A and B are shown apart, each in its own frame.
Chain A
């Protein structure tokens, strides 16, 4: 009897060790793919010349104006607001909620936890629901609006599914099936210090983490590239000063 219990405990311990090792490696790999992939992509963008001045109207006349413009685009989605209020509403809700949720999650990576992260905790929970709502709205449009149905690819649906599953599994841990977040935090801090700590073998948590790793890995090979892309878009990042300042790039010398 005693032996059986011991054996059981050993098996559990072994599972935890294996899980810990697996997820640690998974996250190292996913991070490596994310960072290296984004670096390659962004370097590629930066190295490619923009030979002609093609700012999108209405364009600011100065560099400072360009900074403001991009800020307005990435925080308020100003152009999208002018284009389509529904897409704006769902898209904006989703992104703001995502930002809050990410901020909230920083508590697993910082010790002591930063002040802003503390403040964001209560909002972060509601943001999880808002995120799901935004995703649902965006997804519904892919089915209901004929034009958007026409342009949607399988990967567009899959990306929404992935994000929704991440949000749902996260909320499930908050409301349905709690996990040991103290141990989780130890695991995360350990990951960053290359000093592995056991990962709680909680099924919902494992799903949640696996999906996040998948998202990180596909980031540089998917339309999520819109995130760095918005900063490199010549339409948005060029100033309307072609007559005042001669714009010359590598291959295009007058």
Chain B
């Protein structure tokens, strides 16, 4: 399949709700996973013969395992409050990208097979058989949801389309309709400990090079240790931080923070990945298996704390799920939150005066902050309400002189997804990703025009990769996107903190 044409919508002065364009994104779908990729995760290699019965069976199983799935399928009243809340709808106009319409793709099948009304009066209640064309819609449109949870914030019942999307993906995986990008990556983590498939020696090399570069830059021995027994802190970061730009600048930032604060820390080659794509495919067991590597690494290295780097969905999994998946953590230092976000660690050091900044080093930047969806709507920080919004901004303010927030309806819990989350960060979906970024790009344009913003900080590897790619489609410089710890790393005082 040739990659579809990528068309960036025009940026409007004021965001408007698009008129419906039926079927606008009906051609968008990701590559299918190969037999081998599916089988490596215990899924059937390709579409099984009795897929319909199997899918309905799986749906029944999930209805018994997830209260969210069960309640959300029943409770929706079709009020329509969520219809204009999804960035993919706003960017494409395709009605099947309205959250409730996306849910209805599953709901109509649920009604047909699991409710009396749908069995007796299918037409009346909008129930439908699980046909090939319905399944086809599932594959297309559940791969047009980044599981960002924006819609859930506005629903009077807290209905979270991400839960429905995850269930649909889980059903599709169980009948052999795996998606290539996610399933290939999960296979790599299981084998090598990170999404990139970077083996231990390569990781060590990369970090050594980085040590040399930072030495050249600062004249100091800022360390990037791997597998160091007896370190106090295990740091788990998205593997993109090890070599992709701008991610790597944040990695340097973390190292400088630890250096300045004099904390002994280490990466692990066994758990060299914070990301957890098990979340994206809604598979509990895959998610647990990936998370377990962190527990194993922490135990083996004998660390006292676990800190997670700048990765949105990783932080959701760590903050919200780790305690369930791989807890309890009573063997770690109880004086610190487990797990701890790198922003929590840095913020704490700032408040205690343990690190300081030369903020003018960031004076060439006018900064704004993009709340990443999984951090904003799937986690917390600092043990205070809204801490996940406050801490990163406080760190930016401590490290920079010029900061401006984007429009209030586009930040904090209302933030728009970058357009590349949820396992959609793959080239064949680029058209969708560019269009899905529209609401964020419009909000960015406003602060660019009003304040001359030239840097958008984020704490998510997917956001960074996605924006690097899509910013140019909207005539922005791709280097506008970077990490919070990139700003920290550029301004932190090293070597003279006494």
Q: How far is the CA of A59 from the CA of B174 in the complex (A)?
A: 33
Query: For the complex, is B155 an interface residue (Cβ under 8 Å from A)?
Result: yes
Query: When A152-B78, A154-B124, A234-B67 are in contact, do A56 and B160 touch as well, CB less than 8 Å?
Result: yes
* B12-48 contacts to A (CB < 8 Å): 17, 19-20
Q: Is B484 an interface residue (CB 8 A)?
A: no
CA distance A84 to B79 in the complex (A): 10
Complex Cα distance, B84 from A153, in Å, reads 19
Judging by beta carbons under 8 Å apart, are A226 and B65 in contact? no
Task: Using known A-B contacts A56-B160, A252-B284, determine if residue A234 contacts B149 with beta carbons closer than 8 Å.
Answer: no
Q: How many residues of B contact A (CB 8 A)?
A: 69
- Is A196's CB within 8 Å of the partner chain B? no
The answer to the question of B63 belonging to the interface, with a C-beta cut-off of 8 Å to chain A, is: yes
For the complex, what is the distance from the CA of A154 to the CA of B111, rounded to whole Å?
14
Query: Are B326 and A254 closer than 8 Å at their CB atoms?
Result: yes
In the bound complex, CA of A57 to CA of B377 (Å) = 5
Contact call A151/B80, Cβ cutoff below 8 A: yes
Please, which residues of chain B bring their CB within 8 A of the CB of A4?
A: none
Are the CB atoms of A251 and B65 closer together than 8 Å? yes
Q: Is the beta-carbon distance between A155 and B125 smaller than 8 angstroms?
A: yes
CB-nearest residue of chain B to A56: B158
User: In the complex the two chains form, is B324's CB within 8 Å of A83's CB?
Assistant: no
A61 in contact with B385 given A80-B154, A246-B323 (CB within 8 Å): yes
Tell whether B211 is near chain A: CB-to-CB under 8 Å. Answer: no
Instruction: Check if B338 sits within 8 Å of A80, measured CB to CB.
Output: no
Contact (Cβ within 8 A) B116 A80: no
Contact A77/B100 with A52-B324, A222-B117 known, Cβ cut-off 8 Å: no
CB distance from A214 to the nearest CB of B (A): 13
**Which B residues from 116 to 131 make CB contacts under 8 A with A?**
116-117, 121, 123-126
CB-CB under 8 A for A242 and B324, given A54-B160, A56-B149, A235-B158: yes
B176 → A minimal CB distance (Å):
24
The distance from the CB of B33 to the nearest CB of chain A, in whole angstroms, is: 24
* Contact A84 B71, beta carbon cutoff 8 Å: no
Alpha-carbon gap, A236 to B67, bound state (A): 12
Q: Are B63 and A57 neighbours in the complex by a CB distance under 8 Å?
A: no
**What 1/0 flags go to A151-190 for Cβ under 8 Å of B?**
1111110100000000000000000000000000000000
Asked if A58 and B385 make an inter-chain contact with CB atoms under 8 angstroms apart, the answer reads yes
Q: Point out the residues of chain A lying under 8 angstroms from B65, CB to CB.
A: 48-49, 51, 251
Q: Is the CB of A45 within 8 A of B320?
A: no
Q: Of A50, A61, A87, which one neighbours B79 at CB under 8 angstroms?
A: A87
| CB-contact partner of B81 in A48, A84, A222, under 8 A | A84
Interface residues of A (CB under 8 A from B): 41, 44-45, 48-54, 56-58, 61, 73, 77, 79-80, 82-84, 87, 91, 141, 145-148, 150-156, 158, 218, 221-223, 225-226, 229-230, 232-236, 240, 242-243, 245-248, 251-252, 254
